Structure 1
Amino acid sequence: MKQRFNNLFRQPPLGFINPEMTWTEVVKFLILTNVTVFAAQEILGMYPFFIENFSLIPREFFHGRVWTLFTYMFLHGGFSHILFNMLALWMFGSMLERVWGSKEFLKYYLLTGLGGGLCYALFNMDSFVPTVGASGAIYGLLLAYAVLFPDNVIYIWFVIPVKAKYFAMIFGVIEFLASFNPGSGVAHLAHLGGMVMGYAYLKWGKLRYSAPGRRMREWKKKLEDSAREREEQTIEDVRREVDELLDKINKVGMDGLTKDEQKRLEKASQYLRDKGIKH
């Protein structure tokens, strides 16, 4: 009985996590794919082979290595590089996939990644410097998240709250200004290209706002219904627990309750009072 009572006041798993950010199928697949490739790079020592054959090198891309426009986005230059990209993919991608559906989300992700790579290549046509990473697609996701959910709050460094629309503006300006420094070692033009491709696809592509809006409402309704069912079940269980303890009081008196039972009765009674329920 004690264990069952304690379980009543435990938050469900989603209570500790923003439901918008729980794993979705394509996001999970993309993260696992990127992590697997990164592990092969670092653990198996395949980084030189991958860079030579699958990174985006503008000069070689325009001389026939067209597949690198796709493969470059699954390679990463270091642990911090993949860590922040995958964290952003989880944060923004999970919500977008849930709203758009897996097929549309994957299409958008790949298009913005391709757009970012193409932008970098076009502005560096004679360069032999390779670029890698999913950042073009990640910046595309950030742009889409800001357009669809402009007032959602994002925490910079997990501390500073900023609305999504301002967050995207800030990082867009940073990337634009940084693009004038070609020696930074970061493909800022790929980031900007991902955002530009994302905006173009949202505005003129087949991805419309009506479907996201409808799916968003359906998803929120499911969450609300689920939360209401959980609360109703919790209230029912708490009332049952209170009734059992009151029955014991009727039989043996208040002194017949242990200290633990008295605390449980007090806690349960307070919970019901807070919910405006008489017992």
Structure 2
Amino acid sequence: MRGITDTVKHLIIINVLMFIGTLVIGNRAIFSNLFALHFPKSDMFQPWQIITHMFMHGNFQHILFNMLALWMFGTAVEQVFGKSKFIFFYLSSGLGAVVLTFIVYYIQVMPLMVDVSSLGYSDELLNQIVNLDILEGNYLKSEILERKMAPLIAEYGHAMSSVSNAEIKALFELNHLTRGSMVGASGAIMGILVAFGMLFPNSKLMLIFLPVPIKAKYFIPGLIALDLFSALTGVSIFSPNNTAYIAHIGGAITGFLMMYFWKKDELDKYRWN
């Protein structure tokens, strides 16, 4: 491939092969259960997912835009960093996305756990409830949760009559949060975008639907601000509703912190080959 560095090329190839694998197998659930990032309370969580989710994508549009961004910005960044430092930076940004996502997950989970603590359920029983499959088509249904809960809690000497509507709602939210998953290289790529903006602040960029050149030092913070707005409000501006905005912000913060400290140590004198 012309105009592309080796590491970026290999990362794109790995991502494309993983995406093709999900299509060839024909059952996305197999790949998703194994390689998408699940939350620690989920029965499907595995340690390797912290890395493998970065090479998984939900659909063609998802992988197309991520790989275009990796090619467009990653090539220039790798030319400055060198191969080893680029890989370290890329994966570290992806891990930073995971860390912030998990932190926010626990911030959301803890008050819900308080809400259901009066039920007196054991940790084992709660874990089984939050891992129940309550999906019907593309939607989670609280009626399915109640139907599947009844015989389960009866085995532990509890009855549905003792569960209030507020507690059902809290258990439903816990189930929704726990059974969620995350895929995509977006967190790592947000770190790369930040690096590009700090290395080449005056480079001019533009959106396809807004053909006005904007300097990277304004364009990239603007993208991050939009992600932050969407994360706080739940309102999507350009991305699908299921976009992991918190992961984007985590990757961007990690990328910024690494660049800040590396630039203090005169980045170009410490290139890793």
Q: What's the TM-score, normalizing by structure 1?
A: 0.64
Q: Equivalent residues in 2 for 1:8-47 (5 A)?
A: 22-47=3-28
Q: State the match for 1:178 in structure 2.
A: 230
Aligned length: 195
Contact conserved, 2:50 with 2:98, CA < 8 A, in 1? yes
- 1:226-274 Cα offsets, whole Å, 9 max, x none, are xxxxxxxxxxxxxxxxxxxxxxxxxxxxxxxxxxxxxxxxxxxxxxxxx
1:169 paired with 2:225, answer no
Q: Say which SS state the counterpart of residue 59 (structure 1) adopts.
A: coil
Deviations 1:88-143 (A, max 9, x none): 00011000101110110010000001111221122113522101000001110111
| Identity within the alignment, % | 35
Specify the SS of the correspondent of 1:133.
coil
Deviation per CA, 1:164-202, whole angstroms, max 9, x where unpaired?
A: 111111111101010024583111000000000111111
TM-align CA RMSD:
2.5
Letter in 2 for 1:111: S
In 1, Cα distance between the equivalents of 2:4 and 2:265?
A: 23
> For 2:50 and 2:234, how far apart are their aligned partners in 1?
20
**d(CA) in 1 for partners of 2:52 and 2:91?**
11
Structure 1 runs not aligned, ≥5 long? 1-13, 15-21, 216-279
Name whichever structure is richer in helix by fraction: 1
Which whole-Å CA distance do the structure 2 matches of 1:207 and 1:102 have between them? 18
Gaps of 5+ in 2: 110-176, 236-240
Distance 2:100 2:37 in 1: 11
Q: Does 1:202 align with 2:259?
A: yes
Separation of aligned partners in 2, 1:139 and 1:187: 12
SS in structure 2 at match of 1:189: helix
**8 A Cα contact 2:34 2:44, kept in partner:** no
Q: Which moved more, 1:40-49 or 1:77-86?
A: 40-49
CA contact (8 A) 1:136 1:193 kept: yes
The amino acid of 1:148's aligned partner reads L
Greater C-alpha Rg: 1
Does the 8 A contact of 1:40 with 1:46 survive in 2? no
TM-score normalised by structure 2 residue count: 0.66
Q: CA deviation at 1:65?
A: 2.2
Q: For residues 214 and 106 of structure 1, do their structure 2 counterparts lie closer, same or farther at Cα, with a shift above 3 Å needed?
A: closer
Distance, in Å, in 2 between the alignment partners of 1:51 and 1:202 is 32
Counterparts of 1:1-279 in structure 2, within 5 Å, are 22-60=3-41, 65-125=46-106, 126=109, 127=177, 128-157=179-208, 159-182=211-234, 184-204=241-261, 210-212=266-268
* Structure with bigger RCO (C-alpha 8 Å, 6+ apart): 2
